[in-house]
């Protein structure tokens, strides 16, 4: 009888500390999974994000429609433009590249959504078929904005070589 009461008394003291989440250190600062912690915090700057989202959609829209003059106005002076075959940093070089006839290959489809991966980072995926007989391969396009200007644009193949 006495042993039972001791057990029940010990049970109370088994977990005196609040169980910490994996991303918190014991003093409450962000630790291991900082991203997870940050995602849980509510964003206060939502109106900025909406503007960024508009920029992302506008950029890809101009790129698809071939409105390259408007597109060049969106570029920051030292921006980087990377495709699977080349890397350009000069605005004049980017302009020349954009004014070349588009590369062989037909974009079968772009994803409807432009997704935001981080603040000011937008990406979309697409499928290109170089020749009617060849296998289509997948593309990923990423654009990064900083204070309303494009800082970098990266296009990479994601498979189906």
Question: Residue 45 has what pLDDT?
Answer: 47
Closest CA to 116 of 81, 142, 138: 142
pLDDT interval class at 11 (50, 70, 90): low
pLDDT band at 36 (very low <50, low <70, confident <90, very high): low
pTM of the predicted structure, to 2 decimals: 0.59
- In DSSP terms, 115 is beta-bridged to 123
pLDDT in tens, 69-118: 888 888 888 888 888 888 888 888 888 888 776 666 666 667 666 666 66
87 is written with which tokens? 């890397």
Strands (E), 5-136: 75-82, 87-88, 106-110, 115-118, 121-129
Mean pLDDT across the stretch 136-155?
85
When the pLDDT of each residue in the chain is averaged and rounded to a whole number, the result is 71
Please tell me the distance from the alpha carbon of residue 1 to that of residue 160, in angstroms, as a whole number.
Answer: 72
Q: CA quadruple 37, 40, 41, 47: dihedral positive or negative?
A: positive
Most trustworthy range by pLDDT among 9-18, 29-38, 73-82: 73-82
Report whether pLDDT(8) > 60.
no
- Range 46-159: architecture per CATH: Roll (3.10)
Tokens 């060049």 correspond to what residue? 72
Q: Which residue has the higher pLDDT, 29 or 61?
A: 61
Q: Which residues of 10-29 are buried (b: 16+ CB within 10 A; e: fewer)?
A: eeeeeeeeeeeeebeeeeee
């Amino acid at each position: 009888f006495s042993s039972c009461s001791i057990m029940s008394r010990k049970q109370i003291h088994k977990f005196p500390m609040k169980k910490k989440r994996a991303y918190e250190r014991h003093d409450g600062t962000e630790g291991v999974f900082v991203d997870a912690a940050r995602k849980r915090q509510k964003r206060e700057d939502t109106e900025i994000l909406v503007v960024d989202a508009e920029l992302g959609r506008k950029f890809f829209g101009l790129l698809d429609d071939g409105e390259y003059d408007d597109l060049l106005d969106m570029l920051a002076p030292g921006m980087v433009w990377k495709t699977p075959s080349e890397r350009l940093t000069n605005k004049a070089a980017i302009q020349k590249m954009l004014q070349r006839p588009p590369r062989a290959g037909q974009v079968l489809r772009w994803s409807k959504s432009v997704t935001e991966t981080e603040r000011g980072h937008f990406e979309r995926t697409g499928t290109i078929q170089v020749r009617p007989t060849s296998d289509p391969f997948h593309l990923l396009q990423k654009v990064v904005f900083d204070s309303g200007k494009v800082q970098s644009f990266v296009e990479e193949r994601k498979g189906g070589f």
